A and B are shown apart, each in its own frame.
Chain A
Amino acid sequence: GAGVSQSPSNKVTEKGKDVELRCDPISGHTALYWYRQRLGQGLEFLIYFQGNSAPDKSGLPSDRFSAERTGESVSTLTIQRTQQEDSAVYLCASSLGPGAQNYGYTFGSGTRLTVV
């Protein structure tokens, strides 16, 4: 597509429920990144995909968080048994090449997750 698309744009969920957040990167972008931004804070790296593989998952905060990518396209970030501290904006970005070295990132609009 023309840009990075994320859905849903807003999600309110009850504590303890599972949620899935979706990211559609720009067509042809092999690299995909997930970041989290808590209210009033900076961007926190979560995970990086190159193709369908995730060589760096070091930012996932706990085993309740997982992500996958299929067809070198769509990625899904899943949070199980959500907690209130998971409330944040989840941002997805894609990049043309392996890594951000020469191409920079294009971000989606984010998913605002609120856990009540």
Chain B
Amino acid sequence: KQEVTQIPAALSVPEGENLVLNCSFTDSAIYNLQWFRQDPGKGLTSLLLIQSSQREQTSGRLNASLDKSSGRSTLYIAASQPGDSATYLCAVPTSGTYKYIFGTGTRLKVLA
């Protein structure tokens, strides 16, 4: 059974810092991994989708890496800004299924 864990659960950093959010999963037979952002009381916004054949994806100040063999993904945020404050979720579909299993998220606060 796929389980997804995100560490840390919460993080508070001053503006301008580079930071890393971690996601680990127990079943490495995944097709892809997706990172989302969720603002309080809102839906989920897709940030990056990494296919299983890829090692990383970049979008602006965000870079996500994927190491299937070790069951890990990291989301790197460069030069953090107060507007980056949100909960960051990673999700993976398990092989043979169509459902994304979500981590419990990392709640990020960037202080001005």
Contact = CB atoms under 8 A, between A and B. Distances in A.
A100 B36 contact: no
A98 B42 CA distance: 26
B98 A56 contact: yes
Q: How large is the interface on A (under 10, 10 to 19, 20 to 34, 35 or more residues)?
A: 20 to 34
Most chain A CB neighbours (cut-off 10 Å) among B93, B97, B98: B98
Interface of B is mostly: strand
A13 to B, nearest CB: 18
Interface stretch (A63-71, A76-84, A106-114): A106-114
A102 B51 contact: yes
Interface stretch (B16-24, B74-82, B100-108): B100-108
A99 B93 contact: yes
A107 B46 CA distance: 8
Nearest to A41: B104
Interface of B: 31-32, 34, 36, 41-46, 49, 51, 89, 91, 93, 97-100, 102-105
Interface of A: 6, 31, 33, 42-43, 45, 48, 50, 56, 89, 91, 93, 98-110, 112
